[in-house]
Amino acid sequence: SIGQWEFLAINDEELVDTVRKSIFVDHELVRIYYGTLRLGIDLHKAKPQWLHVENDTVVVATLPNVELLDRNFIDEARTQPFFESGSWSEADKEKLYNIAYRKMLKRCFTKGNIATAENNAQQQFEKMLKAMGYKNIRVEFEKRAKTK
């Protein structure tokens, strides 16, 4: 959406499977999910005065924290059945989708990737503000809420 700036896109794929046991034969479902997680900032969440000048010399940009910009990151059109035996309901497939979703989040929305996105944001904002004629620039992020 307008106001969202992407600073890191991570492509991921997850192979997820399940087995349903029955008396005579086991039924198996294996699917491959593809997704792109986009990390960036949403300037709609910026606080008032997020961009200001201190002491007539330093431009300070206080950016909102990096977040996942789109929660619907799995490309369902690219999802492929890898192996399927037996019949499976939409609810069964939805369970696999949810497992893949959680795995992608865990693998990609990490402190390291957030730090990379923050670094990319700082570099791009510095370049943009320098191009506007500012020489002394400080780019920072809002303080993250402490979680227990």
What is the SS3 assignment for 79-143?
A: CEEEEECCCCCHHHHHHHHHHHHHHHHHHHCCHHHHHHHHHHHHHHHHHHHHHCCCCEEEEEECC
Q: Where are the domains of the chain?
A: 4-141
Backbone region of residue 41 per phi and psi (left: phi > 0; alpha: psi in -120 to 50; beta: other values) = beta
Q: How far is CA 28 from the centre of its chain?
A: 30
pLDDT of residue 53: 87
How many whole angstroms separate alpha carbon 22 and alpha carbon 15?
Answer: 23
Those residues whose C-beta lies under 8 Å from the C-beta of residue 53, and which sit 6 or more positions away, are: 59, 60
Find, among 67, 53, 82, 59, the residue nearest to 3 by Cα: 67
Instruction: Specify whether the CB–CB gap between 108 and 13 falls below 8 A.
Output: no
Tens digit of each residue's pLDDT, the chain (148 residues): 678 999 999 999 999 998 888 888 888 999 999 999 999 999 999 999 999 888 777 888 999 999 999 999 999 999 888 888 888 899 999 999 999 999 999 999 999 999 999 999 999 999 999 998 888 999 999 987 654 4
